[in-house]
Amino acid sequence: GIQVEQSPPDLILQEGANSTLRCNFSDSVNNLQWFHQNPWGQLINLFYIPSGTKQNGRLSATTVATERYSLLYISSSQTTDSGVYFCAVEQGTYKYIFGTGTRLKVLA
Amino acid sequence: GAGVSQSPSNKVTEKGKDVELRCDPISGHTALYWYRQSLGQGLEFLIYFQGNSAPDKSGLPSDRFSAERTGGSVSTLTIQRTQQEDSAVYLCASSLEYSQRLFFGSGTQLSVL
Calculate what percentage of chain B has a pLDDT beyond 70.
Answer: 99
C-alpha to C-alpha distance for B13 and B11, rounded to whole angstroms: 6
Q: Cβ separation of A33 and B107 shorter than 8 Å? A: no
Q: Taking chain B, what is the end-to-end CA distance rounded to the nearest angstrom?
A: 33
Q: What pLDDT is stored for residue A41 in this prediction?
A: 92
Q: What pLDDT is stored for residue B100 in this prediction?
A: 87
Query: Is some CB atom of chain A closer than 8 A to the CB atom of B5?
Result: no
Average pLDDT along chain A: 96
Q: What pLDDT is stored for residue B1 in this prediction?
A: 53
* Partner residue opposite B91 with nearest CB, options A33, A43, A92: A43
pLDDT at B25 exceeding the cut of 90: yes
Q: What pLDDT is stored for residue B44 in this prediction?
A: 94
- What count of Cα atoms within 13 Å lies in the side-chain half-sphere of residue B98? 17
C-alpha to C-alpha distance for B101 and B83, rounded to whole angstroms: 33
Q: What is the pLDDT of residues A27-43, one digit of tens each?
A: 999 999 999 999 999 99
pLDDT at B92 exceeding the cut of 70: yes
Q: What is the pLDDT of residues A39-92, one digit of tens each?
A: 999 999 999 999 999 999 999 999 999 999 999 999 999 999 999 999 999 988
A57: left (phi over 0), alpha (psi -120 to 50) or beta: left
pLDDT at B108 exceeding the cut of 60: yes
Contact B17, B113 (CB under 8 A): no
Nearest CA in chain A to B109: A41
Distance from CA of B80 to the nearest CA of A (A): 24
Q: What is the pLDDT of residues B52-86, one digit of tens each?
A: 999 888 899 999 999 999 988 999 999 999 999 99
* Partner residue opposite A30 with nearest CB, options B45, B99, B106: B99
Q: Taking chain A, what is the end-to-end CA distance rounded to the nearest angstrom?
A: 40
Mean pLDDT, residues B13-34: 96
Nearest CA in chain B to A85: B42
